[in-house]
Amino acid sequence: MFEAAELGQTLSKADYDAGLAKLRPALLEAHFALKDTKVPVIVIVSGADGAGKGEVVHRLNEWLDPRGVDTQAFWQTSDEERERPRYWRFWRALPARGRIGILFGSWYSEPIIRRVYGEIKTSKLDTEMDRIAFFEKLLADDGAVIVKLWFHLSKKAQRRRLKDLASNPKTRSRVLPSDWKHFKFYDKFTEVSERALRRTDAGHAPWHLIEAADRRYRELTAGQILLQAIQAKLAGLQKAKTAAAPAKPAKTTARRGKSGITILDHVGLSQRLSDKEYAAQLEKQQSRLTRLTWAAWEKKVASVALFEGWDAAGKGSAIRRVTAAMDPRLYRIIPIAAPTDEERARHYLWRFWRHLPRAGMTTIFDRSWYGRVLVERVEGFAREDEWKRAFLEISDFEEQLAESGIVVSKFWIHIGKDEQLRRFKQRESIAIKRYKITDEDWRNRGQWDAYKAAINDMVAHTSTEFAPWTLVAGNDKKFARVQIVKTLCQHLEAAL
Amino acid sequence: MFEAAELGQTLSKADYDAGLAKLRPALLEAHFALKDTKVPVIVIVSGADGAGKGEVVHRLNEWLDPRGVDTQAFWQTSDEERERPRYWRFWRALPARGRIGILFGSWYSEPIIRRVYGEIKTSKLDTEMDRIAFFEKLLADDGAVIVKLWFHLSKKAQRRRLKDLASNPKTRSRVLPSDWKHFKFYDKFTEVSERALRRTDAGHAPWHLIEAADRRYRELTAGQILLQAIQAKLAGLQKAKTAAAPAKPAKTTARRGKSGITILDHVGLSQRLSDKEYAAQLEKQQSRLTRLTWAAWEKKVASVALFEGWDAAGKGSAIRRVTAAMDPRLYRIIPIAAPTDEERARHYLWRFWRHLPRAGMTTIFDRSWYGRVLVERVEGFAREDEWKRAFLEISDFEEQLAESGIVVSKFWIHIGKDEQLRRFKQRESIAIKRYKITDEDWRNRGQWDAYKAAINDMVAHTSTEFAPWTLVAGNDKKFARVQIVKTLCQHLEAAL
């Protein structure tokens, strides 16, 4: 594979200047056109040590409008990063729509280096590359342009380059001790990189091999590849625009058996607790939760608990019974309403990644990423292809949480349609509860069957071994609350 | 002072229930009215160990609409926090406008505890309290309601309370080992707290002492105080609204001597460098900067460099000459354009705090917080009282950076009015530079004298020992670039 980047490519100064004179205005123009789109551009700068990657980063910053560029170097990790799932730091660094993010180092570096040094096996490398492929697909599906540049040096060229850098007082400090250490592993590094690149070379995120020995050649080539990638995307958008306007996204059709029976119909809504049973059991489970959340803190086990349910199902009051048992230092509640513009400017999962708990802590989501396959699906805010692929995107997200040791609990609080009506009416009659009932609630109620189908699909697709759904019988609030606190305890106990 | 909170206040269940029946709907109503305002509410929950602060936090969350509340506990610090100025973690936690932030622990905790344990002297405690007073004033000036609750226990009550908590299996885990340790210092803690509270008891951020021995009394009282504070603010807003609409903010009047001479007229704009001198000196200074930025990284010294200047003064190209000498892993450029809605929802300094560098790193601001006293002043986006107090707010901010060891460099790139005209025209004629010139630039140019006066005031008020302004002679870009790189080197050298 890398032979293609050992051809001795060079550029004369005249050719470089001529190329640059064409490239720069075109690149700026493309960058400005990009600003008005919803497209984030992700440029990954990677490859051999001493291949001039840092200089390329400088050059791209020079050629683009610096106000529209975010350059992010992945290097040392902070404890806030280490205490969260590995991809947290990458999500954190993703550029907003209309901007160009230049990533110096990326999600590729760690698995490749670890494989080179024998810390992981080839099978693990492959798994990591598959995760990357999935991640890049998810970003591309969201509209991102992904430009992956790999700067290659032949063994001879790399040795010469490191020596040159080290002998020049101006550049000496750019050679890190680790660079020479890596050089000893040149052959292994080449072999592992080839494997990694092959496995992640996709149409929506292709690798570009660039021969890096000649400065002028590598820089101009990098700029040209970036330009072509942006231009191609802009042309695609233009084409889509001039094509017939797509039909309004089809609302969900309740897909279920003719009987209309879904998984929700199996929730035993008649289950209840007497006041006495409730008081005793809640007290018992809350004490247990208090103990367990402190134990989790000591063992640095983090938790994510999310609450979904019909309007008026009692999410809020259930959450309060949970938090009443927890020290306020140990949890945060994240209510999910309309996204901020910083959130809207990124992939829909970004706003959830940003709130993941640190080691030992709990994040409680009051509504969650499942909005994608519930309200966004039913109301047609997400296209069918978008909410359909969300099942897999969400499962992958939750798998990453589970892999990092986070205890994931997901509650759907179910109530009957009649019970909902009773509660709506009751809420309207009680002063301090009136704020809880809005026109939207009534509108949602009109879509009961569509939601029921969506919920059924959601549970079917996303109840996994590592993040199972708990369907809570909510007609009796007392029963529901005890069940929820108890389930959280069971999940924590299993993990500790 | 605390005698006022040792009166044996209690509430019967009946009185509590009656009070609550009035409080809850009123609190919810106030909370909902708050959402449509630009007012953030900051509730500080502090006081003695074992005073039930955590329970109060739970209760407030229960009484308010949880979707409009952010509860934040200050406890252990992360390395990302430790590597930044101390207040970074507090800025990070400030609630957005229209929301209620409940701070469990706050900026008071650390100085008080450190003084109790004798780690700092009284004079240092006083300095810390003055800093807090300034910080709270700044937040209040920005429209925040600040509710400071201090929960007090007599010595006897505290001992009893800790024992009770420890003997109950359900609450045992709430007693931290540090609580008993603190108890031994009860008298000292009381003395230090009194001093701290007295020094920070201001009209815009008053302390409320709450006798904490009785659960019902302390919780209801806390809720009532919060309600009154929000109601008072809402009433004030209403009054301001119904009063005659304020006159449009006066645009700046160029305040300067009759001669029109300002500090800018002393910048030697005729200074130039030949191409040859430029090449040699830039090369030399850049090498020096490369070396120094790596040394700063090794010694964990962070830097902030900000660039202001007339339109077309050459900020962008100067910044590129700086970054060309730095490893991309060591710096980030933050271009300051329109704020995002998350930024608009907070104090104007919030967006700068969030980008402060970690230890060893550099943040380069392309435009900065000085927009407050430049464009916002000249265009009338900030009222006169707002931009006038900004001088002190900014100096305090920069002092905090300097105190935490950050090297602060501030550049105003000055050019003559004729030179600006020449560059505007030139930009319009060159394809890749055309994007740099907009109608706004021309409009700003029409305000030259108003800007000149604003710049003069800015430099006069904010050129401090810890963060001096560097006025750069920018008519010759070459001269300017060398001066900038060289100044950065000097600042770094002095700090290392």
Among B55, B78, B151, which would you mutate to test the A interface (most chain A Cβ atoms within 10 Å of its Cβ)? B78
Same domain, A181 and A323: no
What local confidence, expressed as pLDDT, does residue A182 receive?
79
Contact yes or no for A213/A154 (Cβ under 8 A)? yes
Condensed to tens digits (0 to 9), the pLDDT of residues B345-375 reads 999 999 999 999 999 999 999 999 999 999 9
CA distance B320 to chain A (A): 7
CA atoms within 13 A on the CB side of B205: 25
Q: What is the pLDDT of residue B256?
A: 47
Measured between CB atoms, which of A80, A170, A335 is closest to B66?
A335
* List of E strands, A265-372: 303-309, 331-335, 362-366
With 90 as the cut, is the pLDDT of residue A401 above it? yes
Residue B149 and residue B276 in one domain: no
* Cβ pair A173:B432 closer than 8 A: no
Residue A32 maps to a domain: yes
Residues of B in contact with A323 (CB under 8 A): 58, 61
For residues A46-67, give the mean pLDDT: 90
Q: Which residue of B has its CA nearest to A76?
A: B329
CA distance B307 to B319: 8
Residues of B in contact with A80 (CB under 8 A): 78-80
Tell me the chain B residues in contact with residue A435 when contact means C-beta distances shorter than 8 Å: 28, 32, 65
Measured between its terminal Cα atoms, the distance across chain B in Å is 47
Please report residues of A whose CB lies closer than 8 A to that of B168.
none
pLDDT above 70: residue A459: yes
At a CB cut-off of 8 Å and minimum separation 6, what does A236 contact? none
A3-7, A347-351, B329-333, B400-404: least confident range: A3-7
Structural domain containing residue A51: 2-242
Q: What pLDDT, in 10s, does the model give residues B1-22?
A: 888 888 888 999 999 999 999 9
Partnered with residue B364 across adjacent β-strands are B305, B333
pLDDT reported for residue A256: 47
* Cβ neighbour number for residue B446 with a 10 Å cutoff: 9
Of A242, A273, A304, which residue is a domain's last? Answer: A242
Q: Is residue B489 part of a domain?
A: yes
Is the residue at B248 inside a domain?
no
Residues B218 and B305 in one domain: no
Which chain B residues are within 8 Å of A340, Cβ to Cβ? 340-342
Residue A184 pLDDT > 50, yes or no?
yes
- Other C-beta atoms closer than 10 Å to the C-beta of B159 total 15
pLDDT at A170: 65
**CB-CB neighbors (< 8 A) of A282 in chain B:** none
Residue B166 structure tokens: 């420890």
pLDDT at A244: 59
Inspect the interface and report whether the beta carbons of B323 and A32 lie closer than 8 Å: no
For residue A255, is it within any domain?
A: no
Among B208, B242, B276, give the residue marking a domain's end. B242
Tell me the mean pLDDT in the region A476-489: 97
More confident residue, B167 or A34: A34
Q: Which of A43, A44, A63, A67 to mutate to test the interface with B (most CBs of B within 10 A)?
A: A67
Q: Is residue A339 part of a domain?
A: yes
Query: What's A394's domain CATH number?
Result: 3.40.50.300
pLDDT bin (cut points 50, 70, 90) of residue B173 is: low
Q: Is residue B356 part of a domain?
A: yes
* Number of domains forming the structure of chain A: 2
Size of interface A-B (CB pairs under 8 A): 123
Q: Does residue A407 surpass a pLDDT of 50? A: yes
Can you give the pLDDT at residue B163? 87
In chain A, pLDDT over 90 holds for what percent of residues?
74
**A314, A413: one domain:** yes
pLDDT at A204 over 50: yes
Give contacts of B105 with chain A, Cβ < 8 Å. Answer: 329
Domain endpoint, select from B207, B242, B277: B242
Tell whether B67 and B113 lie within a shared domain: yes
Residue A15: the pLDDT is 95
Mean residue pLDDT of chain A comes to 91
B221 with B274, same domain: the answer is no
Kindly list the distances between the CA atom of residue B74 and the CA atoms of A329, B57, B103, in Å, as whole numbers in the listed order: 7, 13, 7
**Together in a domain, A298 and A435:** yes
Distance CA A89, CA B415 (A): 42
- Inform me whether the pLDDT recorded for A350 exceeds 90: yes
Q: How confident is the model at residue A254 (pLDDT cuts 50, 70, 90)?
A: very low
Q: Are B185 and B118 in contact (CB under 8 A)?
A: no
| Inter-chain residue contact B174 with A327, CB threshold 8 Å | yes
Q: Are A97 and A171 part of one and the same domain?
A: yes
pLDDT at position A493 is: 96
What's residue A245's pLDDT?
56
Residue B258 belongs to a domain: no
A272 lies in the same domain as A190: no
- The answer to whether residues B236 and B294 belong to one domain is no
pLDDT at B251: 52
Instruction: Say whether both A222 and A298 belong to one domain.
Output: no
Of residues A255 and A82, which shows the higher confidence score? A82
**Residue pLDDT, tens place only, B289-308:** 999 999 999 999 999 999 99
Mean pLDDT of B436-456: 90
Q: Does B490 share its domain with B410?
A: yes
In a domain, A362, yes or no: yes
Contact, A315 vs A307, CB < 8 A? yes
- Per-residue pLDDT band for A436 (boundaries 50, 70, 90) equals confident
pTM across the whole model:
0.87
Q: What gap in Å lies between CA B302 and CA A150, rounded to an integer? A: 31
pLDDT > 70? residue B93: yes
Closest CA to A92 of A112, A68, A72: A72
Best B170, B358, B363, B437 residue to mutate vs chain A (most A CBs within 10 Å): B170
Residue of A24, A291, A323 with shortest CB distance to B432 = A24
Which of residues B25 and B432 earns the better pLDDT score? B25
Average pLDDT for A116-134: 94
- Determine what percent of chain B is predicted with pLDDT higher than 70: 95
